[in-house]
A = this chain, B = another copy of it.
Amino acid sequence: MADAPPSVKIALLGAGTVGSEVARLLIDHKDDLAQRIGAMPEVVGIATLEPDDEALTGLPRDLITTDAAALIPKADIVVELIGGLEPARTFVLDALQSGKAVVTANKALLAAHGPEIYEAADANGSDLYFEAAVGGAIPIIRPVRESLAGDRIQRILGIVNGTTNYVLDRMTTAHLDYEVALKEAQEAGFAEADPTADVEGYDAASKIAILASLAFHMRVSLDDVYREGITEITPHDVAAAAESGHVIKLLGIAQRTDAGVTVRVHPALVPLTHPLANVGGAYNAVFIEAEAAGELMFYGKGAGGVPTASAVLGDIVSVARHRALGGKGPRESNYVSLPVLPIASSRTRFQIRLEVADRPGVLAKVAAILGAHDVSIETVRQPPSGGGDGRAHLVIATHEAVESDLSATVEEIRACDVVHAVLSVLRIEGE
Contacts and interface: CB of A to CB of B under 8 A. Distances in A.
A207 B70 CA distance: 48
Given A148-B310, A292-B137, A300 B297 contact: yes
B296 A150 contact: no
A217 B311 contact: no
B335 A307 contact: no
A297 B25 CA distance: 23
A309 B89 CA distance: 39
B318 A325 contact: no
Interface string A285-298: 00000111111111
A290 B306 CA distance: 11
B150 A310 contact: yes
A387 interface: no
Interface in A308-336: 309-318, 321-322, 325-331, 333, 335
A143 B143 contact: yes
Contacts of A138: 296
Nearest to A329: B327
Nearest to A127: B327
A278 interface: yes
Nearest to A300: B296
Contacts of A304: 294
**What is the total number of copies of this protein in its complex?**
2
B327 A322 contact: yes
A146 interface: yes
A275 interface: yes
A149 interface: yes
A301 B295 contact: yes
Contact of A297 (B290, B297, B326, B335): B297
A295 B300 contact: yes
A139 interface: yes
> Of residues A131, A137, A310, A318, which shows the largest number of chain B Cβ atoms within 10 Å of its Cβ?
A310
B301 A151 contact: no
A173 interface: no
B149 A139 contact: no
A317 B143 CA distance: 12
A257 interface: no
A300 B307 contact: no
A113 interface: no
A385 interface: no
Contacts of A278: 275, 278
Interface in A197-250: 217
Nearest to A148: B314
Given A25-B150, A36-B149, A217-B35, A310 B293 contact: yes
B275 A150 contact: no
A156 to B, nearest CB: 14
The 6 closest A-B pairs by CB, nearest first: A150-B313, A327-B327, A139-B147, A292-B310, A137-B293, A139-B143
Nearest to A32: B152
Given A150-B310, A150-B314, A292-B309, 5 more contacts: A1-B335, A139-B139, A139-B146, A146-B317, A292-B313
A260 to B, nearest CB: 17
A91 interface: no
Contact of A327 (B295, B316, B326, B335): B326
A311 B292 CA distance: 9
A299 interface: yes
Contacts of A333: 35-36
Contacts of A326: 326-328
